[in-house]
Amino acid sequence: MMRNCFVWITILLVHGFAGFSQTFYRGNDLSYVNQMEDCGAVFKENGVPKDVYQIFADHGTNLVRMRLWVDPAWQNDLVQPAGVKLQYSDFEDVKETISRSKAAGMQVLLDFHLSDFWADPGKQLIPAKWLGVAYDVNALKDSVYNYVIQVLTDLNNDSLMPEMVQIGNETNGGILRHTTIDENYNVGGSVSSSWARHAQLFNSAIKAVRDINDSTTIKPKIALHCADPKNISWFFSNIISYGVTDFDIMGFSYYYAWHKKSIAELGSAVKSLKTTYPAYEVMVLETGYPWTTQNFDAYPNLITIPDPQYIPLFPEKQLEYMVDYTRAVMKNGGSGVIFWEPAWVSTPCKTPWGQGSSHDHLVLFDPVNVNFMDNGGGRWTEPQFYEDLNTVKVTFKVDMTGQDVSNGVYIAGDLAGDTAGIFPMADNGHGIYSYFTYLTPGDTGSYCFLNDSSLIAGETVPPECAIGGGTLRRFTVEESDKVYAYTWGTCYPPGIPETVKVTFVVDMTDQDISDGVWVTGTMTGDPWKIMAMTPVGNNLYSYSLNMHPGDSGAFYFMNDNVWGEREDVPAECSPWWGVDRGYKIGIKDTIYSYKWGSCESLGLTTLYRDKKMEAGEITSGIEIYPNPAYRKVFIQTSDCDPIKAVMIFNYSGKLIRTTNDNTLKPEVEISLADLAPGIYFYKVTTESNFVCKKIIKL
């Protein structure tokens, strides 16, 4: 340890703050939270049970969104634990959510799905009680109008009037369209795709809101909602062209996992909409971002693809993403961002698609204790991140490989605007730790890394990259985002690749391969996709892809592309749910190689190629693979220059084996079963060439 950081900076930076001129809504959709409590979830902060609405309010949430279904009777068929109500997201549940939100000092946005079920771009189910007038647009308009009037009147009578209402949910293809829903919750029976019809229904609901405003103190703003930034320009120009104009907020959903747009592109979409339609506010009504790739229950994760600019995933990275996201919306004139289902924690309760939560990797509470993660995305609503939008992001990274990190890793310096201090750094995995902050361009400051929370636990900074007599590092804030990255106690940056090559290999000796060999798992952007494996010779099959360091998940092999036709993985090597193999990706290319249905590793660390040489393909040189090897190696050349003989020497140069086959071949297999682990040299002779190669036997 060193005393360098003990010599402290006495001149602090002073920042001005450019406040946001209008209310900016930092919202969370809490549609599930009442049910989660009934299902047994006890929400905590600092390990102490606390009202979940107050937790969100205390961290800067100023808007709560909740969905409202007309009559979600389908929930009655779900077998739930004792004490769980038959229905949620109905009128009584919404009243509870609004009451608790307002009691905690937050405003509310009531999302009229105008359906008995989830409404989205592919599902706009007409409520069962309105099916009799589904094809009579005038009668359906009256049903919509009377329903909205009744809901808002009853809420107003109980002093629960929402500050905003949303007419429809992700209505890209219209509203109140479908008449049937099957046992798998697929809708059908589209009444009409006419936007002239949809416009009448939108306007009927809007008129109901405006009419109720005449007699209420709170006069809700009206939001319309579509999904995906690429659709917003068309959607709003189209709906306005059909005469739907009396609304206040142009809202949309944007998730990286589904829409594949960067934060910069998000900002551009907001700016374009504001420029084209300056009379309307623009809000992101739904978004979300995970903090891990891990799944904590049997319900598959829903949002699985991270933004490549914000990996690897860990709680602080979720916070960083959401803050950058929200700042981009603010900078470009937007009025709010809402995070979808941050409290949908894993419980014994069921949805139509499974038990638990598809958001347990995304919620703002840890999955074991349901404790608010103060190092994670739950802090994205705190106003401190948005007080000065002229600041830029500065990120500090340190590689602690080989260092003692048992007491944590910290950074000390002028990193909080006008306050110097000691700040915890986030564990990125593989020895890398990071900390991000927002500072004013042109500012300079000093810092150093610590492996304890005390100033005397600092690194020794080499003189060539230190200031102040070799005690501290220096940073200068530039006009754009900047990263300062070093290995502990050096002037050298750490090295961590964005992706590494991962290969899955299985030995199918004595197995039925008539229907092919396959692998499935969570390793792609399409989890549990069944992927064909490629034969590489001698009953080995492989599949390769690029993955991000820190990724982890489950996989197993199959001998057909039909669910159920899979290997039985022994319990001692099935860490996922007791039946599946597991992977955790490091910073180097990796091979996971096993014998079918066994814990026996093939010991492969590299493969010459992912697939066998195609017929007629000409390769140059001689290749031996795998290397290092466990039980056997393959030696391969081209058909034009087949192998004549192979000689094996031990490390001392003694010839221990000669393989001399009278049949010339482009590929030969050599067993290593009788060789002790160690280093060997192979001399491979072809018709026109020879080469010597070093082989490691594991």
Active site residues: 170, 286
φ, ψ of residue 104 in degrees (nearest 5): -90, 5
Q: How far is CA 351 from CA 76, 281, 347, in A?
A: 11, 34, 11
For residue 4, give every residue at least 6 positions away whose Cβ sits within 8 Å of its Cβ, in sequence order, or none.
448, 458, 459, 460, 461, 466, 470, 471, 472
Determine the residue type at 93.
D
- In which residue are the tokens 């814990």 written? 599
Contact 579, 298 (CB under 8 A): no
Nearest to 212 by CA among 160, 252, 249: 160
Q: How far is CA 627 from CA 18, 191, 452, 585, 685, in A?
A: 60, 63, 42, 20, 19
CB atoms under 10 Å from CB of 600, counted, come to 15
H-only helix segments in 392-523: none
- Residue 270: its H or E element: helix 263-276
- For residue 293, the 8-state DSSP code is S
CB atoms under 10 Å from CB of 40, counted, come to 14
Contact 367, 346 (CB under 8 A): yes
For residue 135, give every residue at least 6 positions away whose Cβ sits within 8 Å of its Cβ, in sequence order, or none.
191
Compute the distance between CA of residue 529 and CA of residue 520 in angstroms, rounded to an integer. Answer: 6
Compute the distance between CA of residue 297 and CA of residue 577 in angstroms, rounded to an integer. Answer: 9
> In this structure, are strands 432-439 and 392-399 parallel, antiparallel, or unpaired?
antiparallel
Q: How far is CA 349 from CA 52, 118, 339, in A?
A: 18, 18, 22
